[in-house]
Amino acid sequence: MQRFVDKIVMVTGAGSGIGQASALRLASEGASLLCVDLNQSTLDETVAAIEAKGSKVVSQLCDVSSEEEVNRSVQACIDSFGKLDVLVHMAGILRFDHCDELSLDNWQKVIDVNLTGTFLLCKAVLPHLVKTGGNIVNAASTASLSGLPWGTAYSASKGGVLAMTRTIAVEYAKRGVRANCVCPGDVRTTMAENVTFPENADFDLLTRVMSMTGAKGPEVVAGVIAMLASEDGKHITGESVRMDGGMLS
């Protein structure tokens, strides 16, 4: 399948996990890419893998919670390619704390990256997507849909991402822009593998966040993201696609 020939896609969180898998999938379907991440070395690995496929890629170090850095990255895309067709916004962070022990600083950090970052990216790309009839795929979560123990800030941020995505879908539908989000759960990535549980966590609660079919790799999410972002998804907007191996079924 070559659904992204002549398409320019910006991928955030491209250095790892679902963002990296999405960048590789879209490149293999013909896309030219602007890849951004906070981590230079993992970003370089993604760029090398895309170049090895013979695809065009530009990279930009960017903290998605900084308006200045987000705007600079989107401008780099326009300067390099002249347009933008798709935003795949996967950059995000997770931390676990008991709600009554979560510091305001740690709450704010998660909200800044996951929620404010999504707003800043969407705000910056929308004028360009209006010109191309493009679309957005954001990273929500099963935590947008059901309680995630120790995830007060994360759940609040991801609930906000889902609501924001639907709002953008409605607001921009008549201008030809689509906006969707994915709600993954139990996907094997650096984020999932490096999570630290709070002291005295009641692990019985973990049964709520385990898939029925076993954890899967990030490429399963990348495949759905590619469908949503492609012409195959042209009648889908304001949708949240849950991929959690039956966790919330």
Ligand X SMILES: NC(=O)c1ccc[n+]([C@@H]2O[C@H](COP(=O)([O-])OP(=O)(O)OC[C@H]3O[C@@H](n4cnc5c(N)ncnc54)[C@H](O)[C@@H]3O)[C@@H](O)[C@H]2O)c1
Cβ atoms 60, 73 nearer than 8 A? yes
Phi and psi at residue 191, in whole multiples of 5°?
A: -60, -50
Question: Does residue 160 interact with ligand X by CB under 6 A?
Answer: no
Residue with smaller CB distance to ligand X, 56 or 216: 216
Segment interacting with ligand X (CB under 6 A) among 27-35, 77-85, 188-196, 223-231: 188-196
Binding characters for ligand X, 58-97, by CB under 6 A (x = yes): ----xxxx------------------------xxxxx---
Determine if 169 is a binding residue for ligand X (CB under 6 A): no
Q: Cβ of 79: how many Cβ atoms within 10 Å?
A: 10
The string over 100-132, giving b where at least 16 C-beta atoms fall within 10 Å of a residue's C-beta and e elsewhere, is: eebeeeebeebbbbbbbbbbbbbebbbebbeee
Q: Which of 154, 161, 144 is nearest to 99 (CA)?
A: 154
In the bound state with ligand X, the residue whose beta carbon lies nearer, of 14 and 31, is 14
To the query of whether residue 154 is one of the catalytic residues in this protein, the response is yes
For position 189 contacting ligand X by CB under 6 A, the verdict is yes
Residue 149 contacts ligand X per CB under 6 A: no
Between the alpha carbon of residue 56 and those of residues 4, 81, 105, 150, 205, the distances in Å are 12, 10, 39, 41, 45
Piece of the chain touching ligand X by CB under 6 A; list 95-103, 122-130, 187-195, 229-237: 187-195
Number of residues in contact with ligand X under rule CB under 6 A: 32
Q: Segment near ligand X (CB under 6 A), from 3-11, 72-80, 169-177, 178-186? A: 178-186
Which 16-55 positions form the footprint of ligand X (CB under 6 A)?
A: 16-19, 37-39, 42
Q: Which is nearer to ligand X, 173 or 195 (CB)?
A: 195
With beta carbons less than 8 A apart as the criterion, state whether 153 and 106 touch: yes
Q: How far is CA 33 from CA 7, 80, 125, 181, 246, in A?
A: 8, 10, 14, 19, 32
Binding site for ligand X (CB under 6 A): 12-13, 15-19, 37-39, 42, 62-65, 90-94, 113, 139, 141, 184-187, 189-192, 218
